[in-house]
């Protein structure tokens, strides 16, 4: 089954439609690579997908173990290299709500994040700098 249908709209912009839901994502080339930077770039989506996948798998673990995960905030920073142009590092910070998480709960959440399918699918040359911040 087809996952997405993507159209080139011109001016370094694409429109990607998720076939199952009809949701649409627009991408633009970034400002530092001839683009307008008016939407996520494809490499922004790569980095963001890693964080979303981690948080989703953490959510599954949280449901299984009755761990509070709501209101967890995640920030993503993508670092690029050149020659060839590529993502060299994805820095992710998880900011958990002010709850006294037990050490076992922290280990469950962190293991879930670090073993998500996107994390395991990325090339090992992309450094995944993942940080967990508990209040």
- Residue 44: its pLDDT value, please? 96
Write the secondary structure of 30-98 as one string of H (helix), E (strand) and C (coil). CHHHCCCCCCCCHHHHHHHHHHHHHHHHHHHHHHHHCCCCCCCEEEEEEEEECCCCEEEEEEEEEECCC
Question: Do 129 and 107 fall into the same domain?
Answer: yes
- Chain centroid to Cα 110, Å, comes to 15
Q: What residue ranges of the chain have pLDDT lower than 50?
A: none
| Other CB atoms within 10 Å distance of the CB of residue 97 | 13
Containing domain of residue 59, as a range? Answer: 42-133
Question: Do 27 and 52 fall into the same domain?
Answer: no
Task: Tally the domains of the chain.
Answer: 2
Question: Do 25 and 78 fall into the same domain?
Answer: no
Question: Do 9 and 74 fall into the same domain?
Answer: no
pTM reported for the whole predicted model: 0.94
- Residue 88: its pLDDT value, please? 98
- Residue 70: its pLDDT value, please? 97
Q: What is the pLDDT of residues 46-63, one digit of tens each?
A: 999 999 999 999 999 999
């Amino acid at each position: 089954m087809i996952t997405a249908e993507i159209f080139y709209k011109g001016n370094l912009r694409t429109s990607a439609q998720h076939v199952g839901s009809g949701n649409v994502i627009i991408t633009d080339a970034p400002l530092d690579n001839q683009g307008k930077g008016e939407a996520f770039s494809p490499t922004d989506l790569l980095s963001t997908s890693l964080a979303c996948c981690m948080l989703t798998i953490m959510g599954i673990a949280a449901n299984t173990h009755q761990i509070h995960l709501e209101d967890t905030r995640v920030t993503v920073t993508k670092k690029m290299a050149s020659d060839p142009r590529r993502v060299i590092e994805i820095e992710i910070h998880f900011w958990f709500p002010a709850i006294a998480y037990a050490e076992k709960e922290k280990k469950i959440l962190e293991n879930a994040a670090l073993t998500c399918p996107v994390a395991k699918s990325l090339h090992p040359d992309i450094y995944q700098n993942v940080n967990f911040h508990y209040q």
